[in-house]
Structure 1
């Protein structure tokens, strides 16, 4: 097992944050930040400039010395999603590896959302009590805003908007010089970008509580009392802050809230964005937390490394996110549930045959959930539509490679059989292509067993024979259509696993 004392580094748009954490207790031993305005390059130049690369190297060297002083054996380095917006991001990533030996992992939007919810669920003291009512978690980074909802203590919905204060500031900077009603124009711009989010929110839920967190909350974090990690305010108190900010000069804000010039320029778009969300959602109680994505990364590392039990299943968020996507595209829920149940049953019963683990099982569960979303566009070749919809969607907690794998599994779950040559799969490692092939084969079989869309099979027994896998079904109706479909779609299973398939069944009535 890995050492429980580990170092973490997160590259954001305005700073590089690091921590040293005991993963058994989730106690922070050391934490700090190095201001590096990488986001100025992202949004203004669309690339990371050489001087900025040098600044990152200097920060890495200083952080690495701290890690060495503490004897930290394991270092995990992440970059926020905005990093990938730079045209030369991969070149810089390689340069940094060559110069420092640290390999950077770029997080996806859905991964960052996943980390933030884990941070809140584990480290926010009032989480269980306040999320019994409708609660929206708003994470504000320089380039984007992630909105995540909870109700009855359970994760409900997540959506990312390219509406971070630095991005808004860069877009609106020309407007500021040419109009007198700058605040109104910025408010209209923000409102226009919030429309899609509001339209997709679950109906019938009032979001009376709001939790604010993120790397771009300098003005809010400076009002958190010393020694505390969060503070609560009410709607009138926030209204007063909004009035103050919209009427104050930059010098007043810098002096009053102890802000740098870079932070001061982002105060107005930050406060205006939050204010419009508070008004739109009619939130009454607002919590301001200093938790950040790096806190969630620590929680995830503790869970994945087996150091700490979290008291909840993190994968549940991923499955709920997939269910939300399926619901949005109006899949046949009964067929989806039947297919998913059988797919997971096949995975569990055939574990010695396929040799895959828990993460692959989760990918199969997600793929079975969203495999038919393409039917929303067109039933004919729906698998092709499912493929590109999934690639363009956010599934909480999956990285970009895993989203591509899920999309490919759904692409090949239909009767259009890929050749056994793995070159027919998208570009990825041979190991990942094999995983996709195996999971596609299992999903094909599961989908075949509800070919009639009537959920005829009530029980299924799976037996591995020397030359075949025998499926024995108990059904409440004739299953000849399922048998015929399996004969066609099951050929790929035989190609992948080297065993034939046979379906036997008897009527239970």
Structure 2
């Protein structure tokens, strides 16, 4: 039996919706209702009551469409732009109470995650295109998200607060006062790209670029009907750029059939893409009409047990954590050893901890990034790890999960205070217990490479009534690891109610 589900994304300028058949990812219906959330936020930092009314009306219209199709399952997500407003929490509560729909909050890293799932699943010949270095650029009204792929694999993601509507609002005073408005805007955009250039991996080359996002109204008119993307090159985009910078608003509206309310974003959008093409020396450019809402459908299909595409979403999450670890120069041998032991302990002690696949992933992510604080200072590095993780983008994790990973990293060290579940008032009791259990497992795993020399080659776990015994096969003496585990294992005993000890023998 086909399962149809509704999806809604509240963006900065539109409420997008789709009805998707999860088994095949075929869309039964899709559309959008314009709203002016971004104009309110970027101009006054407040969402006005009139705009709230428009959002509610748009959602009620979507609800009617869903009802007409007999849809009783829906996912409603607010983009990060929606939550930038100073009164966002009040607006969220008003919208929820007036529509009856719960609105999930998407972080920047989640939005990037959904977009990559959309292109993995729906972009034509994605694997072939991304064999060469490729940057996926999603342009929304308030921000630009850049996600890099090499050899078909996710590389890194960066977010810039440089969306065209935000740029237009910032530069609106300049437009009326300077004759060389385009040059000033170009310099403004270039100044915001400085940090992005600095963070690019050395020696990287990205000849391919995929453009997508809610702010590409003009560019999407170039896509043939029924297709999801169209290819061009630098020369083709140069022609479009020179046409736009010399065109009047009325010409753009008439030629590209754009509402006058969107024309103001055309110049900053095209100028921004033009400068990014120059920065990355891109040679081939694809313009796509895929959006975050498409990734929501892909993600839900996978979570519902359907396999419409050969896609493992956890790979992106793990790669994102690995990239963060590399950025802060974590010792890869110790990191990978800790990850291996942590996952082995998790798998072999399932009947003790009772946790599932998602918690296993959180443990893996925590093990990858737990030592990044040493980049700042090895003294109390666990505290530095915590705030770096919370301030970073870990693709695919929601806000609570990212906070959980940060807290696990904080408590992985025996030098940190013993975890007090009362210190985490914003977490549910269940999540606090998960944090404690994963922290205990990570402490043990970290202990097994206390010397940072990877002495232990493999472990065997035996579970007795009152203790867990780790039988290690090692290539050298493991007294330091045994002593470290005796200290760090006290927390494991406190959490699980059983002692843990290490026995080692030299490999022949």
TM-score (norm 2): 0.98
**Offset at residue 155 of structure 1 (A):** 0.9
Q: Which residue does 1:260 correspond to in 2?
A: 259
Q: Which residue does 1:321 correspond to in 2?
A: 320
- 8 Å Cα contact 2:346-2:441 kept in structure 1: yes
Q: Which residue does 2:501 correspond to in 1?
A: 502
- 8 Å Cα contact 2:214-2:291 kept in structure 1: yes
Q: Which residue does 2:69 correspond to in 1?
A: 70
Is residue 2:369 matched to residue 1:370? yes
Q: Which residue does 2:221 correspond to in 1?
A: 222
Q: Which residue does 1:383 correspond to in 2?
A: 382
- 8 Å Cα contact 1:417-1:492 kept in structure 2: no
- 8 Å Cα contact 2:19-2:66 kept in structure 1: yes
Matches within 5 A, 1:75-90: 75-90=74-89
CA distance in 2, matches of 1:234, 1:335: 44
- 8 Å Cα contact 1:23-1:308 kept in structure 2: no
**Offset at residue 101 of structure 1 (A):** 0.5
Task: Report the 3-state secondary structure (helix = DSSP H, G, I; strand = E; otherwise coil) of the residue aligned with 1:17.
Answer: strand
The runs of 5 or more residues in structure 2 that have no matched partner are none
- More deviation, 296-305/51-60: 51-60
CA distance in 2, matches of 1:47, 1:103: 21
- More deviation, 252-261/291-300: 252-261
* Cα RMSD for the two superposed structures: 1.2
Q: Which residue does 1:181 correspond to in 2?
A: 180
CA distance in 2, matches of 1:257, 1:342: 58
Q: Which residue does 1:276 correspond to in 2?
A: 275
- 8 Å Cα contact 1:458-1:474 kept in structure 2: yes
CA distance in 2, matches of 1:261, 1:111: 31
CA distance in 1, matches of 2:424, 2:249: 54
> How many residue pairs end up in the alignment?
508
**Offset at residue 417 of structure 1 (A):** 5.1
Q: Which residue does 1:109 correspond to in 2?
A: 108
**Offset at residue 182 of structure 1 (A):** 1.0
**Offset at residue 53 of structure 1 (A):** 1.0
- 8 Å Cα contact 1:3-1:74 kept in structure 2: no
Task: Report the 3-state secondary structure (helix = DSSP H, G, I; strand = E; otherwise coil) of the residue aligned with 1:413.
Answer: coil
Is residue 2:370 matched to residue 1:353? no
Q: Which residue does 2:51 correspond to in 1?
A: 52
CA distance in 2, matches of 1:424, 1:94: 27
Task: Report the 3-state secondary structure (helix = DSSP H, G, I; strand = E; otherwise coil) of the residue aligned with 2:176.
Answer: helix
Residues 397 and 297 (structure 1), Cα distance of their counterparts in 2 relative to 1, 3 Å cut: same
Q: Which residue does 1:22 correspond to in 2?
A: 21
**Offset at residue 96 of structure 1 (A):** 1.3
Q: Which residue does 1:206 correspond to in 2?
A: 205
**Offset at residue 416 of structure 1 (A):** 3.1
- 8 Å Cα contact 2:2-2:21 kept in structure 1: no
Q: Which residue does 1:38 correspond to in 2?
A: 37
CA distance in 1, matches of 2:195, 2:493: 45
- More deviation, 379-388/312-321: 312-321
Task: Report the 3-state secondary structure (helix = DSSP H, G, I; strand = E; otherwise coil) of the residue aligned with 2:81.
Answer: helix
**Offset at residue 199 of structure 1 (A):** 1.7
Q: Which residue does 1:488 correspond to in 2?
A: 487
CA distance in 2, matches of 1:259, 1:363: 45
CA distance in 1, matches of 2:353, 2:416: 19
Residues 27 and 3 (structure 1), Cα distance of their counterparts in 2 relative to 1, 3 Å cut: closer
- 8 Å Cα contact 2:142-2:166 kept in structure 1: yes
Cα deviations by residue, 1:122-177 (Å, 9 ceiling, x for unpaired): 00012011111111110000000000111111111111110100111111111112
**Offset at residue 3 of structure 1 (A):** 7.3
